[in-house]
């Protein structure tokens, strides 16, 4: 495995040049685009790493499935799906056109920004600080990494430039989807996006999902298998933005990407995978990261379909 990872990283290191780091959040533009790293944590507890596996980057959209897990733990399934839809696409069999994002006055699913903001508003806590700390504590626990923290510069940058997200949050507020204060909800959302992790942390979370909620080190059940199924379903159907369909064909495993350059993957009963490559393709996914995962999937026969 180690040899395979080294070969793959070595092979695709150069393809980072075909992508570009996210520039809509000014802080992210400062990232070195040539980085590429991978961590694989298998369900027997073995960790393999290669390349820039120790570099910290912000989770961005990868926080969506993780915070969804916590929201399910905090509220139960019924309450969560009062606020957000269940469908990747919402394609009624007879529609010609339709709103994509909002349906029956709730966001389509928890992987799009509007849905993720709805979900953030559901995290327990009386203040944004309490909610954010609750998210941080949860991520520390599932990654076995106490050093997890927020990148304050990225957070401030997201807060200053997040007009589109602010627009969506007020739209949600307007029809009663968000019950609390909009600015406080956005503080939680922007901060969860700004949590820094390494590929190792992502591999740990992926492996926990691969065991449907049973911690690999302690063997403790951290959440019901049902919540794991929910989260992995979204990763599989709409975890890679506009590239989800192509990823399902080429790689074929549940995965979630973020514009920070990370991708978190999970393969049932086998492994979690974390990849980092901040140079993105036009759809917002790591350019080299996709190549790495495609090759890994072929070599290890990971495709679940």
Which residues are marked as active site? 61, 64, 189, 241, 259
C-beta closer to a copy of itself: residue 205 or 235 = 235
CB 69 within 8 A of CB 266: no
Residue 45 contacts a copy of itself per CB under 8 A:
no
Task: Compose the 241-280 pattern: x for residues touching a copy of itself by CB under 8 A, - for all others.
Answer: xxxxxx-xx--x-x----x--------x------------
Residue 28 CA to residue 20 CA, distance in Å, equals 11
Q: Minimal distance in Å, beta carbon 250 to a copy of itself?
A: 8
Q: Minimal distance in Å, beta carbon 114 to a copy of itself?
A: 8
C-beta closer to a copy of itself: residue 150 or 235 = 235
User: Within positions 66 to 95, which residues make up the interface with a copy of itself, using CB under 8 A?
Assistant: 85-95
Residue 168 contacts a copy of itself per CB under 8 A:
yes
C-beta closer to a copy of itself: residue 99 or 146 = 99
Q: Directed axis angle between helix 128-143 and helix 182-193, to 10°?
A: 20
The H helix count followed by the E strand count for the chain is: 11, 10
Residue 104 contacts a copy of itself per CB under 8 A:
no
Cα 190 from chain centroid (whole Å): 14
In Å, what is the CA distance from 159 to each residue of 57, 128, 155, 270, 281? 17, 14, 6, 38, 24
In Å, what is the CA distance from 129 to each residue of 80, 135, 142, 197? 21, 10, 20, 20
C-beta closer to a copy of itself: residue 10 or 91 = 91
Tell me the sheet residues that pair with 214.
Answer: 221
Residues 6+ apart with CB under 8 A from 173: 182
Residue 107 contacts a copy of itself per CB under 8 A:
no
Q: Binding segment for a copy of itself among 33-41, 110-118, 127-135, 187-195 (CB under 8 A)?
A: 110-118
C-beta closer to a copy of itself: residue 127 or 167 = 167
As a 3-state breakdown, the chain gives helix, strand, coil percent values, each rounded to 5, of: 50, 15, 35
Task: Compose the 206-245 pattern: x for residues touching a copy of itself by CB under 8 A, - for all others.
Answer: -----------------------xx-xxxxxxx--xxxxx
C-beta closer to a copy of itself: residue 34 or 233 = 233
Tell me the sheet residues that pair with 106.
Answer: 103
In Å, what is the CA distance from 206 to each residue of 99, 166, 202, 213, 228? 32, 30, 6, 10, 10
Residue 126 contacts a copy of itself per CB under 8 A:
no
* Residues 121, 132, 261: CA angle, nearest 5 degrees: 95
Q: Minimal distance in Å, beta carbon 137 to a copy of itself?
A: 26
Number of residues engaging a copy of itself in binding (CB under 8 A): 63
Footprint of a copy of itself (CB under 8 A): 24, 61, 85-102, 108-109, 111-114, 163-164, 166-171, 173-174, 182, 229-230, 232-238, 241-246, 248-249, 252, 254, 259, 268, 283-284, 303-305
């Amino acid at each position: 495995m180690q040899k395979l990872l080294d070969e793959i990283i070595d092979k695709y290191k150069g393809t980072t040049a075909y992508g570009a780091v996210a520039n809509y959040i000014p802080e992210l533009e400062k990232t070195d685009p040539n980085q590429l790293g991978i961590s694989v944590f298998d369900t027997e507890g073995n960790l393999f790493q290669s390349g820039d596996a120790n570099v910290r980057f912000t989770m961005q959209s990868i926080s969506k499935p993780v915070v969804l897990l916590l929201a399910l733990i905090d509220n139960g399934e019924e309450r969560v799906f009062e606020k957000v839809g269940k469908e990747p696409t919402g394609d009624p069999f007879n529609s010609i056109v339709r709103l994509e994002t909002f349906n029956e006055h709730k966001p389509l699913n928890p992987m799009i920004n509007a849905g993720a903001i709805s979900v953030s508003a559901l995290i327990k806590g009386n203040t944004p600080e309490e909610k954010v700390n609750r998210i941080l504590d949860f991520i520390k626990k599932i990654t076995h990494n106490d050093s997890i923290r927020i990148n304050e510069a990225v957070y401030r940058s997201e807060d200053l430039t997040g007009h589109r997200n602010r627009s969506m949050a007020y739209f949600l507020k307007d029809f009663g989807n968000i019950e609390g204060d909009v600015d406080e909800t956005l503080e939680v959302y922007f901060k969860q996006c700004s949590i820094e992790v390494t590929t190792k942390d992502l591999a740990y979370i992926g492996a926990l999902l691969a065991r449907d909620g049973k911690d690999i080190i302690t063997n403790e059940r951290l959440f019901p298998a049902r919540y794991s199924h929910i989260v992995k379903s979204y990763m599989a159907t709409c975890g890679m933005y506009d590239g989800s369909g192509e990823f399902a064909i080429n790689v074929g495993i549940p995965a979630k990407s973020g514009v920070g350059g990370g991708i978190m993957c999970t393969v049932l009963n086998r492994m979690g995978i974390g990849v980092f490559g901040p140079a993105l393709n036009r759809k917002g996914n790591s350019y080299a990261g996709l190549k790495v995962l495609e090759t890994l999937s072929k070599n290890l026969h990971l495709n679940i379909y």
